[in-house]
Amino acid sequence: MDGPARVPQSGAMETFRNLVRAEFAPANTYLNTAGAGLPPARAVSAVTRTAASAATGRFPDLLPDVEAGRAAFARIVGVHADRVAVGSSVAVYSGLVATSLAPGSEVLTAEGDFSSLVNPFHVRGDLTVRSVPLERLAESVGPRTGLVAVSSVQSLDGRLVDLPGLRDAARAHGARLLVDVSQSAGWLPIPADDVDYLVAVAYKWLFCPRGVAFLVTPADLGGLVPVFAGWASGEDIGASSYDRVDPLARSARRFDGSPALLPHAGARPALELVEELGVDTVRAHDIGLADRFRSGLASLGHEPVPAPGSAIVSVPGLGHRRGELSRAGVEVADRKGHLRAAFHVYNTAADVDRLLDVLFG
């Protein structure tokens, strides 16, 4: 996952630029996609039309949008749509995986990983949760490990996990692997077949409205029990509104939550835009800007957290400058005293230079 970014052909890059210009027009220097991504114009229009129609009493059928979004996310991560469940949060799906573990199982996590991923394992109470530094995760998998749960890209500082090494270690010990790609889906190719469970929220790098999340299961559904199955989990949704839902969907749709329909009106066109832009092209653009910022920092004597190949740059000791930057029209994040800048498609080299100028000019 952390190999060199492929350089897109000139035609693909021109298409990319045209699409970005048509869809995004930020009024400030927005460098906080790791917190929330900007919605494209097509998603804003879709949500606005849908809300306006609902206000008149005409509620459009948005279930086709849910299915189209499921299919688009499946294509983005490279799996069949039958393996994708649609929900609203990582924590719910992490909790679902937690319910599948035998009492006393060891869950291995990375120190400082995002709470929505790891906390459900802590609150269950009868699991052993062991946290180790990210760089020691693979070597720490052992015979007692039942599950490894980790974010592919760390929210705090942008570091990438060594997914191939972790996959091999987990398989060697018979452990399952749960990977949260909330901070990578959309700009980093995701080899979903290399993991057992994959989860993501879509309101960051995938441009969707908040309220859309996905779970990818193995083809055999990974031993998960659909403990929160409702009408949306039935094989025949039209016949699943009353009494027992039977049969449940034969696919991962049995793990669907009741969908937040209005966000899905915007999610469908947002995910289609990700496909049109192309993850490889997005990756080259985003990492290029992040590396420009890293080079600028180095020339000024500042050292970010080492995270080669990441679109997220975290600078220790500068988080307190966030308020000053915001007043100057530059939006970044303060995470545990680190200044975190996240570079995405709507950012330019001028944005990088503006950030450096406000910080050190």
SS (H, E, C) 117-133: HHHHHHHHCCCEEEEEC
* Alpha carbons 164 and 245: distance in angstroms, whole number: 39
Tell whether 29 is covered by a domain. Answer: yes
Q: What angle, rounded to 10 degrees, do the helices at 90-99 and 115-124 form?
A: 30
The model's pTM: 0.94
DSSP 79-138: S-GGGEEEES-HHHHHHHHHHTSPTT-EEEEETT--HHHHHHHHHHSSSEEEEE-GGGHH
Tell whether 250 is covered by a domain. Answer: yes
Q: Which residue, among 70, 85, 72, has the nearest Cα to 221 in the 3D structure?
A: 85
Contacts of 152 (CB under 8 A, 6+ apart): 1, 160, 161, 163, 179, 180, 181, 183, 184, 188, 190
**Do 216 and 354 fall within a single domain?**
no
In the prediction, which pLDDT does 13 show? 80
**Do 222 and 134 fall within a single domain?**
yes
Tell whether 46 is covered by a domain. Answer: no
Q: How many domains does the chain have?
A: 2
Longest dimension (CA), the chain: 66
Q: Cα–Cα–Cα angle for 154, 114, 74, nearest 5°?
A: 75
CB 165 within 8 A of CB 138: yes
Boundary-marking domain end, from 244, 276, 308: 276
Q: Which residues of 74-87 are buried (b: 16+ CB within 10 A; e: fewer)?
A: bbbbebebebbbbb
The 8-class DSSP code of residue 35 comes to T
Total Cβ atoms within 10 A of residue 199 = 29
Boundary-marking domain end, from 238, 260, 276: 276
**Do 96 and 221 fall within a single domain?**
yes
pLDDT per residue as tens digits for the range 11-35: 778 889 999 999 999 999 999 999 9
In the prediction, which pLDDT does 314 show? 98
In the prediction, which pLDDT does 56 show? 96
Boundary-marking domain end, from 226, 255, 276: 276
Tell whether 175 is covered by a domain. Answer: yes
Indicate the SS3 state at residue 315. Answer: strand
Tell whether 5 is covered by a domain. Answer: no
**Domain of residue 127, residue span:** 54-276
Task: List the pLDDT tens digit at each of the 361 positions of the chain.
Answer: 445 556 566 677 888 999 999 999 999 999 999 999 999 999 999 999 999 999 999 999 999 999 999 999 999 999 999 999 999 999 999 999 999 999 999 999 999 999 999 999 999 999 999 999 999 999 999 999 999 999 999 999 999 999 999 999 999 999 999 999 999 999 999 888 889 999 999 999 999 999 999 999 999 999 999 999 999 999 999 999 999 999 999 999 999 999 999 999 999 999 999 999 999 999 999 999 999 999 999 999 999 999 999 999 999 999 999 999 999 999 999 999 999 999 999 999 999 999 999 999 8
In the prediction, which pLDDT does 120 show? 97
Tell whether 16 is covered by a domain. Answer: yes
**Do 319 and 349 fall within a single domain?**
yes
